[in-house]
Amino acid sequence: MSVCVNLAPFYFHQGTNFYAYKYLGCNLEKKDNKYHYTFRTWAPNADEVGLVSDFSGWDTPIMMKKVTDNGVYEVCYESNVSLEKYPYKFLIRNGGREFLKGDPYARFSRGGADGASLIFCESKHKWTDKKWLNFRHKQQSSEGGYYLSCPLNIYEVHLASFMRHDGDNSVLSYREAADVLVLYLKYMGYTHIELMPVQEHPYDGSWGYQVCGFYAPTSRFGDPDDFRYFVNKMHQNGIGVIMDWVPAHFPKDAWGLYEFDGVPLYEYQGKDRMESQTWGTRFFDLGREEVQSFLISNALYFLREFHIDGLRADAVASMLYLDYDRTLGEWIPNTSGGRENLEAVAFFRKLNTAVFSEFSDVLMIAEESGSFNGITKPCYDGGLGFNLKWNMGWANDFYDYLLTDPLFRKYKHKALNFPIMYAFNENYVLPISHDEVVHGKLSLINKMYGEYENKFKQMRAALLMMMSYPGKKMMFMGTEFAQFREWDYENSLEWFMLDYPNHRAMRDYVCSLNRFYLEHSEMWEIDFDPRGFEWILADDADHNSIAYIRKNKKGKELIFVINYSGSEEKYSLRVDKGRYAKCIFETGLDNNITKETKIVNKNGEYFMDITLPPFSGGVYKIYKSNYNFKA
DSSP 592-619: TS--EEEEEEETTEEEEEEEE-SSEEEE
CB atoms within 10 A of CB 625: 9
pTM: 0.96
Decide if 380 is inside a domain. yes
Q: Please say if 314 is a catalytic residue.
A: yes
pLDDT at position 1 is 44
- Same domain as 386, residue 240: yes
The percent of residues in the chain predicted with pLDDT above 90, rounded, is 93
pLDDT at position 578 is 83
The CATH number covering residue 568 comes to 2.60.40.1180
Among 456, 489, 519, which residue terminates a domain?
Answer: 519
Decide if 421 is inside a domain. yes
Beta partners for residue 219, in sequence order = none
Check if the beta carbon of residue 537 is closer than 8 Å to that of residue 546: yes
- Same domain as 584, residue 435: no
- Same domain as 431, residue 453: yes
Per residue in 547-581, pLDDT (tens digit) is 999 999 999 999 999 999 999 999 999 998 888 99
Sign of the CA dihedral running 439, 440, 442, 447:
negative
**Active site residue: 74, 367, 426, 435, which one?**
367
The CATH number covering residue 372 comes to 3.20.20.80
Among 519, 554, 582, which residue terminates a domain?
Answer: 519
Decide if 436 is inside a domain. yes
Decide if 99 is inside a domain. no
Q: Mention every residue, 6+ apart, whose C-beta is less than 8 A from residue 308.
A: 231, 241, 242, 243, 302, 362
- Same domain as 473, residue 396: yes
Residue ranges making up the domain that contains 613: 532-623
Q: Which of 327, 329, 133 is nearest to 236 (CA)?
A: 133
Check if the beta carbon of residue 363 is closer than 8 Å to that of residue 311: yes
- Residue environment code for 41-50, b if the CB has 16+ CB neighbours within 10 A, otherwise e: bbbbebeebb
- Same domain as 506, residue 456: yes
- Same domain as 429, residue 380: yes
pLDDT at position 371 is 85
User: In sequence order, what E strands does 169-235 have?
Assistant: 192-195, 199-200, 213-217
d(CA 487, CA 478): 8
- Same domain as 496, residue 539: no
Q: Which of 363, 416, 368 is nearest to 392 (CA)?
A: 368
pLDDT at position 8 is 94
Listed as ranges, residues in the chain with pLDDT below 50 are 1, 629-631
- Same domain as 344, residue 446: yes
DSSP for residue 409: G
- Same domain as 326, residue 439: yes
- Same domain as 431, residue 538: no
pLDDT at position 146 is 81
- Domains in the chain, number: 2
Q: Please say if 200 is a catalytic residue.
A: no
Concatenated DSSP letters of 487-546? P-TTS---GGGGGSHHHHHHHHHHHHHHHHHHH-GGGTTTSSSGGGEEEEEEEEGGGTEE
Q: How far is CA 534 from the centre of its chain?
A: 29
Among 519, 547, 581, which residue terminates a domain?
Answer: 519
Decide if 392 is inside a domain. yes
pLDDT at position 254 is 96
Decide if 46 is inside a domain. no
Decide if 63 is inside a domain. no
pLDDT at position 589 is 74
- Same domain as 322, residue 180: yes
Alpha helices, DSSP H only, in 306-391?
A: 316-320, 342-358
Decide if 587 is inside a domain. yes
pLDDT at position 143 is 56
- Same domain as 365, residue 480: yes
Check if the beta carbon of residue 209 is closer than 8 Å to that of residue 106: no
**Active site residue: 103, 314, 368, 586, which one?**
314
